């Protein structure tokens, strides 16, 4: 459920007309619903009420500090993959003891930042990383909480670019080597073994890959226990999908039932790292039609948002539904919806049946709350666009539109180029 609905044929976000915001901030812009984001967190967390658990929002999905604050207020933590994401999480008020640090390429300075901050644990992706974290913790006179991320070689049945649990993927340590890795960690003076981690991919719409991953984790927990290694946190990652088109992902209640059932009687705190399932349908991209054109009978709608604002369709061939901001009787056409970027890959849809919009009409690109702004760029020297949050009857600019001056901030021309 989300709170983007029509009232008298006009699209609203909660109690605010989308067109009213567009008139104030211009287009394109991202628009988020506080009610939707809050509800999705509560439903997901509530599904695991029967077990000790920690919901660590995947900051990569949407890193705006106002969005992170919504989850911090509800007791949520953060799943981070960089020092910048750690900084954002702390600025949003997320308790460091609720932060887990994943990712295959943690730099020394990022590791030091996390150690000094006192995060819950690092999800270790390689033996060399384990050695580096032990060494960095020793230099600081600290102990690093860790879990080892296993790669279970499970097909999550999702897009290849967002599959992370197959043996050909760069993530984690294979199951056969994981127990040896824990024994190695047990010998290290500055390592505190806390958890075991697994993340198999994103936008997963079936239960079976999750169930299979949990069963593998449970087996490893048993093996470690026989070695005297107690696992206190079991991190199941994220990956539960949302309906962009006609997908039918399981609801959080069914997902929770499968996870809890497969985990059996393991006495651990469960960690989850949801991103898309919490934020995806909580945001939209609002764009305006600049031009309509035909090339040899083919229709194009040229809008003012581009692939630099929402990369998913170009990168993954991802589907996003469109909704006109005003519903008026219009004939349907088949059209490509494209942006201003100087690339043939700059599109939001190809061959889509949709209303025949006109220059100046507003269009909402739905399910854009995750991996939208967070993947945006300044390609073609386009300023990044604003983000707006609606809370009931009020709306708030939570990121300003960048200016042309912002594009060159930090750049300089050296003296050697000023010489004639």
Catalytic residues: 342
**Residue partners of 188: CB distance under 8 A and separation at least 6:** 130, 134
Query: 155 with 209: CB under 8 angstroms?
Result: yes
Any idea which residue has 């020092």 for tokens? 83
Q: How far is CA 189 from CA 124, 179, 184, 186, 192, in A?
A: 16, 18, 11, 8, 8
3-class secondary structure per residue, 184-240? HHHCCCCEEEEEEECCCECCECCCHHHHHHHHHHHHHHHHHHHCCCCCCEEECCCCE
Phi first, then psi: what are they for 58, rounded to 5°?
-75, 100
How many CB atoms are closer than 10 A to CB 332?
9
**DSSP per residue, 30-51:** EEEEHHHHHHHHHHHHHHTTTS
Any idea which residue has 């993530």 for tokens? 171
User: What is d(CA 387, CA 397) in angstroms, rounded to the nearest whole number?
Assistant: 6
User: What is d(CA 35, CA 70) in angstroms, rounded to the nearest whole number?
Assistant: 10
- Judging by DSSP bridges, how do beta strands 53-58 and 233-235 pair with one another? unpaired
Could you report how far apart the first and last alpha carbons of the chain are, in Å?
63
φ/ψ bin of 11: left (φ > 0), alpha (ψ from -120 to 50), beta (otherwise): beta
Phi first, then psi: what are they for 208, rounded to 5°?
-55, -40
């Amino acid at each position: 459920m989300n709170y983007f609905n029509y009232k008298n044929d006009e699209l609203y976000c909660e109690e605010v007309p989308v067109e009213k915001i567009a008139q104030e901030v211009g287009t394109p812009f991202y628009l988020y619903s506080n009610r939707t984001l809050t509800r999705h967190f509560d439903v997901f967390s509530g599904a695991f009420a029967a077990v000790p658990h920690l919901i660590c929002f995947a900051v990569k999905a949407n890193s705006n500090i106002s969005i992170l604050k919504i989850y911090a207020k509800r007791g949520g933590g953060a799943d981070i993959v960089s020092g910048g994401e750690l900084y954002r999480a702390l600025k949003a008020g997320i308790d460091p003891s609720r932060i887990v640090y994943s990712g295959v390429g943690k730099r020394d300075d990022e590791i030091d930042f996390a150690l000094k901050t006192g995060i819950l644990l690092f999800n270790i992706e390689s033996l060399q990383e384990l050695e580096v974290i032990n060494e960095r913790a020793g230099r600081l006179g600290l102990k690093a909480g860790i879990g080892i991320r296993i790669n279970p070689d499970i097909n999550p049945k999702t897009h290849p670019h967002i599959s992370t649990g197959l043996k050909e993927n760069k993530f984690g340590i294979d199951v056969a080597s994981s127990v040896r890795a824990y024994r190695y960690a047990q010998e290290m003076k500055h390592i505190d073994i806390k958890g075991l981690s697994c993340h198999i991919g994103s936008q997963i719409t079936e239960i079976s890959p999750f169930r299979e991953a949990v069963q593998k984790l449970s087996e490893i927990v048993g093996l470690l226990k026989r070695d005297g290694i107690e696992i206190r946190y079991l991190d199941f990652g994220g990956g539960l999908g949302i309906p962009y088109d006609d997908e039918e992902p399981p609801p959080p209640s069914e997902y929770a039932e499968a996870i809890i059932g497969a985990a059996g009687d393991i006495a651990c705190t469960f960690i989850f790292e949801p991103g898309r399932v919490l934020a995806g349908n909580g945001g939209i991209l609002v764009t305006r039609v600049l031009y309509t054109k035909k090339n040899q009978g083919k229709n194009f709608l040229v809008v003012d948002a581009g692939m630099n604002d929402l990369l998913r369709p170009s990168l993954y061939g991802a589907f996003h539904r469109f909704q006109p901001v005003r519903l008026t009787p219009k004939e349907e056409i088949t059209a490509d919806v494209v942006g201003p970027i100087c690339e043939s890959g700059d599109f939001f849809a190809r061959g889509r049946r949709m209303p025949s919009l006109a220059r100046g009409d507003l269009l909402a690109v739905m399910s854009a709350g995750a991996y939208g702004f967070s993947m945006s760029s300044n390609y073609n020297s386009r300023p990044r666009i604003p983000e707006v949050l609606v809370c009931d009857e009020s709306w708030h600019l939570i990121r300003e539109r960048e200016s042309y001056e912002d594009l060159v901030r930090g750049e300089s021309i050296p003296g050697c180029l000023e010489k004639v």
